[in-house]
Homo-oligomer: A and B are copies of this chain.
Amino acid sequence: MDLHEELLEHAAKLDAADPLARMREEFDLPAGTVYLDGNSLGAPPRRVAGRMAQVVGQQWGGRLIRSWSEGWWTAPERVGERIAPLVGAAPGQVVVADSTSVNIFKALTAAVRTAPPGRREIVVDADTFPTDGYIAASVAELTGAVLRPVPVDALESALGDRTAVVLLNHVDYRTGRMHDMAGTTALVHAAGARVVWDLCHSVGVLPIELDALGVDAAVGCTYKFLNGGPGAPAFLYVPSRLQDSFDQPLSGWGGHREPFAMEPGYRPAPGIARARCGTPDILSLLALEAALEVWEGVDLAEVRAKGLSLTGFFAACVARLLPPGTVEVITPMDGPRGHQVSLRHDRAEAVMAELVGREVIGDFRTPDVLRFGFAPLYNSHADAARAALALADVLGAPPAGRA
């Protein structure tokens, strides 16, 4: 058996034992495409198209304005409840609204404004996804705080009695490295500060326990592993214990205690609704709601196990197919990681373009990183093998001989 056949056969065996294999049928993906970019844009769940037709035709077209009182106005909290179990949150603590960037702005500003006097530092991880750092800088400027970017591994020594809040990415978007949420949250709390976690690259990938760890706020997008659609609205978690003091600055009418009373003064709503701002964006929100229904009955432990298997198998295929040194694996394959494998290669941009031309779709991140994301609900080990084979072909690896 040659190496190609061996890898594909191994993949077939792993897929045959996959308890999540049935989930692939929930998604609409072009035949023949190996889609490994669910860490950037999740694939469309089949039920979204029908839901959109129903929302536009019947809810908007048929019920018109009445739909606002027939489920639209409360959709931000209702859809939030579908995300809550995916992040370890009891009911009443997650709302879907606005973008990740806007929600970071709300969470950080609220944290700085309620911090004790003297705590004026906003700490962010130095390798953060850029928008987190950009927003943190703006919050610092507006509130008179100081922005302090720190490598995650040096976080402990940076924390102290001047720290107001720490903003961290659970999984690094470039490398796929997963940070220790339990340990880091405890460190931040020991320093008397608050922690805001960005879950963009981890929600829908692995079990998260926000309540159990006492996390102070969390944000995340819904268009990656949650498959909510391009630019789908983001979520914001604020634990019940902090909601009454959540002093967020985007005090739009959506977060008012009685929005339709049209009062001249702002009185924040009780509960998580005070994290809302403007009128909810219903088409995107209800597309997301349909996408989240796919998660009913899905065991996150199985998702996690499959993600580790997919990423591990892909890295193993790459190692067998490519001569040593052809690419550098920058994802910690022996350590905590999300569901992506990132490879460094000098011609990464051109290599990815060639792969995409062959319908093997990952992505490129400047300056030299190839990213391959694995979504356990619709990716298979066969996808991983085919992607590795295509990569070897593009990189001109010697024809595989006998294994």
Contacts and interface: CB of A to CB of B under 8 A. Distances in A.
A65 B363 contact: yes
- Copies of this chain, how many? 2
Contacts of A278: 98-102, 131, 231, 234
A149 interface: yes
B266 A134 contact: yes
A126 B102 CA distance: 28
A66 B355 CA distance: 13
A251 B141 CA distance: 11
Contact of A41 (B56, B64, B266): B64
Interface stretch (A14-22, A28-36, A177-185): A28-36
Interface string A197-208: 000000000000
A28 B61 contact: yes
Kindly name the residue among A40, A262, A265 whose own CB sees the greatest number of chain B CB atoms within 10 A: A262
Interface stretch (A155-163, A282-290, A333-341, A385-393): A282-290
Given A28-B57, A249-B142, A231 B149 contact: no
B284 A250 contact: no
Contacts of A259: 130
Contacts of A280: 231
Nearest to A223: B279
A273 interface: no
Interface residues of A, number: 84
B41 A49 contact: no
B282 A56 contact: no
Interface string A304-329: 00000000000000000000000000
A395 interface: no
A64 B33 contact: yes
Contacts of A250: 101-102, 105, 135, 138
A68 B41 contact: yes
Contacts of A33: 64
Interface in A218-234: 221, 223, 229-234
A252 interface: yes
Given A37-B65, A65-B40, A363-B65, A102 B252 contact: yes
A134 B259 CA distance: 11
Interface in A237-273: 249-254, 256, 259-266
A171 to B, nearest CB: 16
Contacts of A105: 249-250
A348 to B, nearest CB: 13
Given A61-B44, A130-B253, A230 B262 contact: no
A-B interface, 3 closest residue pairs, ranked by CB to CB distance from nearest: A99-B278, A101-B252, A101-B278
Given A41-B68, A52-B53, 12 more contacts: A37-B64, A40-B65, A52-B56, A68-B230, A101-B254, A109-B142, A130-B253, A133-B265, A134-B266, A141-B249, A221-B279, A229-B282
